[in-house]
Amino acid sequence: MPHNTPEEATQSPPAPPRSRQSYRHEAFLWSSSADFAHGLVPFIQDGIDAGEPVMVALVPEHSACVRDGLDTHQASHVQFVDMAKLGRNPSQIVPAWQDFLTSHSGYGRPARGIGEPIWAGRRAEEVLECQLHEALLNVAVDPEIPFWLVCPYDLESLSDSAIAEAHRSHPVIIRQDSYYGSPSYEGWAHADVMFHAELPPMPGQPVEFTFTAGQVDDVFALLATEGVRAGLWSNQLINLATAARRIAHDWLAGGAISGMIRIWDHPRALTCELASTTVVNDLLAGRRTPRPDDDDPLWWANRVCDLVQFRSTSIGTTIRLHAWK
């Protein structure tokens, strides 16, 4: 579907040398495979020629399109990541970029990346978390690091609302024939609003259970029972139930008096929601690699669950754990 360039768009002046640049987070709006390759392959080649580490996180189809534009020598200098696997739960993407920068970049050494968290066919819950992820990238990366990150958005298959959201989370928009500052970019404030907003209501009537300090194991038992009824495979069921129990235990150990668990069994997913009066203001909670001696249940949940949604308002925190069927 067509998307018009905002009237406020203005041509940007030439960028300074890479060694003197700060963090750049840009959305690339494309419409065809030729457009995609024309926009991204030179970006990769320029990085390789400049001796910059390059990480490309795309779904396999788009990764193949980029590889076709690179010769064997160039491709060998690129760290390719399957975004369909990495971004299955979007909460895993920020830590991957942080690990890349820690290993290959740093202050004064430029690096480049291409990250595609949103593609056609993603579930509505996944798209919402990808949009939060894109907003959090404006918080997670130190602005002094010369990291140039480009995020492709398919104009033909993504909705108008998805493209509008890309304008809010990216300070710069790239199109085939233009490069301009986004007039609707909202920066850190946008990530803050999204993180502190309530999650959309779930349809249907859930199974509910209020737990206290002496009932944490009951959280595991309840989810195990509901998981069997829902037909989850064993590892999936155990991971979901263990993640819920660990989060519940962490909340109660941290001072919460009680919590609520709600479980919905839908045709495509079993969803477990944990809620308590605990208030969290750390927008990157669960997205930082913990030290070896740290126990971070949210970090662990982000690795074993199909999707994790985490929000905290002024009255409490809600975490939804999803297991896809």
pLDDT of 9 > 50? The answer is no
Q: What structural domains does the chain harbor?
A: 18-195 (3.40.50.300), 207-324 (3.30.565.10)
Does 6 have pLDDT greater than 60? no
Mean pLDDT across 167-184: 95
- Alpha-helical (H) ranges within the chain are 33-49, 60-68, 72-76, 83-86, 93-104, 124-140, 160-169, 187-195, 216-230, 234-253, 297-304
**Cα–Cα nearest to 138, from 191, 102, 96, 95:** 191
The whole-number pLDDT of residue 264 equals 98
Q: Mean per-residue pLDDT for 14-40? A: 85
Given a cut of 50, is residue 81 above it in pLDDT? yes
- pLDDT tens sequence across 284-321: 999 999 988 889 999 999 999 999 999 999 999 999 99
Q: What is the pLDDT of residue 10?
A: 43
Residue 79 to residue 246: CA distance in whole angstroms? 34
- Per-residue confidence at 2, pLDDT binned at 50, 70, 90? very low
Whether the CB-CB separation of 94 and 117 falls below 8 Å is answered with no
Work out the percent of the chain whose per-residue pLDDT is above 70.
93
| CA angle centred on 48, ends 43 and 52, rounded to 5° | 100
Phi, psi of 210 (to 5 degrees): -95, 130
Is 16 a residue whose pLDDT tops 90? no
Q: Is the pLDDT of residue 170 over 90?
A: yes
Residue 4 has pLDDT above 90, yes or no: no
Q: What are 60-64's contacts with CB under 8 Å, separation 24+?
A: 60/84, 62/36, 62/116, 62/119, 62/152
User: Of 98, 58, 102, 106, which is closest to residue 78 (Cα–Cα)?
Assistant: 58
- The pTM of this model reads 0.92
Q: How far is CA 17 from CA 22, 77, 102, 170, in A?
A: 10, 22, 22, 21
State the pLDDT confidence band at 106, using cuts at 50, 70 and 90.
low
pLDDT for the residue 141: 95
Tell me the β-bridge partners of 313.
316
Q: What rounded mean pLDDT belongs to the chain? A: 93
pLDDT greater than 50 at residue 7 = no
Residue 111 corresponds to which tokens in the numbers above?
């690096």
Is pLDDT above 90 for 157? yes
Q: Which residues contact 104 (CB under 8 A, 6 or more apart)?
A: 53, 55, 79, 111
